[in-house]
Amino acid sequence: MSNNQKIAVGVVILVLVVFFGYKAVQQKQMDNLEAQNATTTEQRLPSEATNSSDNALSQDAQAIDVQLQGLDADATVIDEGINDDATSY
């Protein structure tokens, strides 16, 4: 095998290692984000449907407020995405 072929094989292997390492880091970040979202969603859930005490109603109102704030944030991001100028990238 010539030197050029050895260099080419080495570069391909290096690119594959970097690619799979990048993918692994991305997947770990995605898993962490999903785990974080799962725990925060549990805290935002309304109380039981049969409970109508003032405390439960207050908890439900707070959960709805948090969910609406998340919806507003999502709508803002969508609006910004729609208004982005595709030629600037």
Tell me the pTM.
0.38
Mean pLDDT of 37-62: 69
How far, in Å, CA of 32 to CA of 36, rounded?
Answer: 6
Domain of residue 10, residue span: 3-88
Query: Mean pLDDT for the chain?
Result: 79
Residue 44 confidence (pLDDT) above 70: no
Residue 47 confidence (pLDDT) above 60: no
How far, in Å, CA of 16 to CA of 10, rounded?
Answer: 10
**Domains contained in the chain, number:** 1
Neighbour-count burial of 67, counting CB atoms closer than 10 A to its CB (0-12 exposed, 13-18 middle, 19+ buried): middle
Confidence grade of residue 7 (pLDDT, cut at 50, 70, 90): very high
- pLDDT-wise least confident of 27-31, 35-39, 71-75: 35-39
Contact 64/47 with Cβ under 8 angstroms?
Answer: no
Task: Report pLDDT for 26.
Answer: 86
How far, in Å, CA of 28 to CA of 34, rounded?
Answer: 10
